[in-house]
Amino acid sequence: MEKLITKLKDVIQGNVFSEKEFREFYSVDSSSYKLIPKVIVIPKNEKDVINTIKIAKKMKTSVTVRGAGTGLVGSALNTGIILDLKNFDSIRLNNSHAIVGTGAIKGMLDKKLAKEKKFFPPNPSIGSFCSVGGMLGNNSSGSRSLKYGSVIDNVEEITFIDGNGKKITLPKNNKISNNLIKITESIDCKKFPNVTKNSSGYRADKIKTIKDSHKIIIGSEGTLGIILSAKLKILSNPKKRILFVVEYDSITKAATNCIEINKTNPSAIEFVDKTTFDQINCKFEKQSKCLLFVEYDENIKTSEKLLKKLITGKIVKKLQTEKEISKWWRYRDSSLHYSLKSIKKEKRIPHLIEDAAVPLKYFPKLFEILNKINKKYKTKSIVYGHAGNGNVHVRLISDRKNLGIIKKMATEYFDDIIKLGGTITAEHGDGLARSEFIKKQYGTANYQIFRKIKNYFDPANVLNPGKIITSKSTIIQNLENF
Ligand SMILES: Cc1cc2nc3c(=O)[nH]c(=O)nc-3n(C[C@H](O)[C@H](O)[C@H](O)COP(=O)(O)OP(=O)(O)OC[C@H]3O[C@@H](n4cnc5c(N)ncnc54)[C@H](O)[C@@H]3O)c2cc1C
């Protein structure tokens, strides 16, 4: 380790830290995992990134890039070198694009965009705290992804350093784009989940033409390249928004109603259960079980009429000012916080099955699957999420701390999700929790193509090893305090 640190310190123009406090700080993120790295590099420029990869390769260690560390499945944790791109935080805007350094924090981007009355559509509930790099790394999304798509649908160009230390811009680089098309041409898209959001594996299904080649890097969790900058699509703020809060006396009723509501072109349909709405200062019916947040940002009058015709719950709020709308979205965005607050520490189960999605027509079935798990394993669950995308976040509550059972539970849950054409992760990524299930998700032949993609960009397996491509089971390894 001393040799590695000396080599890095000799060459890197930015900072190199190996003190215990730094290694501890970078050993955790917002997941339940902990992995202590050897050393942290905060590069000053792209030469530092290239040199770090070259040294890691020579010294047979790894490089894992980290954004703001808000990831929920340990994707940014590893035991080698951690690369923090906080100095790569430039933001340049023109009318339809933002050219952004990946160390930029989303809140800074949002502030700059707001001044120009623009926005970048994917809006994770973590709000301003995540980095653009982390959003690209996980293919993040949020409430408005229902209408505007995930990160992968909103990026035009990416510049990154691959596992050989080579700087590449896609889709500009024709040779690499063509090679990628060849590697992915036999991908079996029928084995991909039939959902509107998916952050599992490599998104080879999105590579239709050369123009799409950059999309393979999005959602690759730092395993194919260290992204330095990206050209993001930006949009003008809608003239008006309207948000309806609808209460239901049955979760099945709400889940079934989502299918119809989705046909009215809302910008968001979000779901929260009692744990969240108990925290809201508003009177709900005694028998209420859940709420849907339904937002429109165009054709407001027509949409309201349509919604009122098909709604099976009761509208409790119709919000029309930006101030009120933001206030209510903050309640929804705080669901993770409310859920953790309501579960005693000793009853929390690490969030490992927290992000599945199914085709919307099967949305009510997802709750059946969850009920089956709860019944079998004597667990309870708190649920909230991006209902319009058939995507729910689950917090399990249990007295038991049996790791084997957690793995069994996850395996059974994912089996049922995959049977319905769903994804094991719609937005948080695979990380340490789900990488071992990717082969199950996509089938052996597609997984072999994923291996070829990894080998093409990172033949020495230097970049974030153990994530996405792995033969190890990590779901119940290295769980902190469990
Ligand atoms: C309360 C809460 C709410 C959340 N809500 C949402 C939500 O609604 N939607 C959603 O999608 N996610 C959500 N998340 C998960 C997470 O916040 C997002 O996925 C976020 O975009 C991760 O960003 P980060 O900067 O923290 O990334 P990190 O956790 O630091 O890293 C995530 C991954 O990206 C990779 N990465 C980071 N930078 C780069 C780079 N420059 N090049 C290549 N790879 C890179 C890392 O290696 C890692 O694999 C939530 C998390 C919390 C705690």
CATH number of the domain enclosing 30: 3.30.43.10
Ligand 1 contact via 198 beta carbon (within 6 Å): no
**What's the mean per-residue pLDDT of the chain?**
96
Helix (H, G, I), strand (E, B) or coil at 386: strand
Closest atom of ligand 1 to CA, residue 65: 47
Reported as type and span, the H/E element at residue 456 is helix 444-457
The percent of residues in the chain predicted with pLDDT above 70, rounded, is 99
Q: Which residue, judged by its Cα, is nearest atom 31 of ligand 1?
A: 134
pLDDT over threshold 90, residue 339 = no
Do both 134 and 189 map to the same domain? yes
Q: What is the pLDDT of residue 315?
A: 97
Asked if residue 109 has its Cβ within 6 Å of ligand 1, the reply is no
- 447 falls in which pLDDT band (50, 70, 90)? very high
**Which of 338, 276, 267 is closest to 307 using CA atoms?**
267
Specify if 478 maps to a domain: no
- 294: three-class secondary structure by DSSP: strand
Q: Are residues 222 and 105 in the same domain?
A: yes
Select from 53, 84, 115 the last residue of a domain: 84
3-state helix, strand, coil in the chain (%, to 5): 40, 20, 40
Query: 465 in a domain, yes or no?
Result: no
Q: CATH code at 408?
A: 3.30.70.2740
276-308: per-residue pLDDT in tens?
888 888 889 999 999 999 999 999 999 999 999
- pLDDT above 90 (res 349): no
Per the domain annotation, does 455 fall within a domain? no
Ligand 1 neighbour 333 (Cβ under 6 A): no
**Number of structural domains the chain divides into:** 4
Same-domain check for residues 123 and 178: yes
Residues 375 and 441 in one domain: yes
Task: Compute the radius of gyration of the chain from its Cα atoms.
Answer: 22
* Mean pLDDT of the 133-150 span: 98
**Residue 400 confidence (pLDDT) above 80:** no
CA distances from 98 to 52, 160, 218, 236, 360 (A): 28, 17, 17, 12, 32
- CA 118 to ligand 1 centroid distance, Å: 22
Residues 335 and 218 placed together within one structural domain of the fold: no
**Binding site membership of 65 for ligand 1 (Cβ less than 6 Å):** yes
Q: Does 136 share its domain with 226?
A: yes
Cα dihedral value 28, 31, 32, 36, nearest 10: -20
Question: Do 303 and 387 fall into the same domain?
Answer: no
Find the mean pLDDT for residues 195-208. Answer: 97
Residue of higher predicted confidence among 350 and 186: 186
- Tell me, rounded to whole angstroms, the distance of Cα 473 from its chain centroid: 21
Domain co-membership, 105 together with 203: yes
Residue 280 within any structural domain of the chain: yes
Report the CATH number at residue 128.
Answer: 3.30.465.10
Residue 352 has pLDDT above 90, yes or no: no
- In this prediction, residue 475 has a pLDDT band, given cuts at 50, 70 and 90, of very high
- Same domain (yes/no): 218, 99: yes
221 lines ligand 1 (CB under 6 A): yes
- Both 230 and 115 in a single domain? yes
Q: How crowded is the C-beta side of 168, counted as CA atoms within 13 Å?
A: 25
| Cα three-residue angle 248-344-354, rounded to 5 degrees | 55
Q: Is residue 287 part of a domain?
A: yes
Residue 59 lies in a domain: yes
Q: Are residues 383 and 282 in the same domain?
A: no
Pick from 341, 365, 381: which residue ends a domain? 341
pLDDT digits (tens, 9 = 90+) for 169-179: 999 999 999 99
Confidence band of 480 (pLDDT split at 50, 70, 90)? confident
Question: Which is nearest to 107 in space by CA: 128, 133, 86, 135?
Answer: 128
pLDDT tens for each residue of 372-385: 999 999 999 999 99
Pairwise CA distance, residues 431 & 394, whole Å:
17
pLDDT digits (tens, 9 = 90+) for 144-162: 999 999 999 999 999 999 9
Cα(468)–Cα(452) distance, integer angstroms:
12
For residue 61 and ligand 1, the question of a CB distance below 6 A is answered with no
CATH number at residue 324: 3.30.70.2190
Give bridge partners of residue 233 from the DSSP assignment. 97
- Residue that finishes a domain, picked among 310, 341, 372: 341
What is the CA(29)–ligand 1 centre distance, in A? Answer: 10
Atom of ligand 1 nearest to the CA of 103: 41
User: In this structure, are 230 and 139 located in the same domain?
Assistant: yes
Domain containing 223 equals 91-236
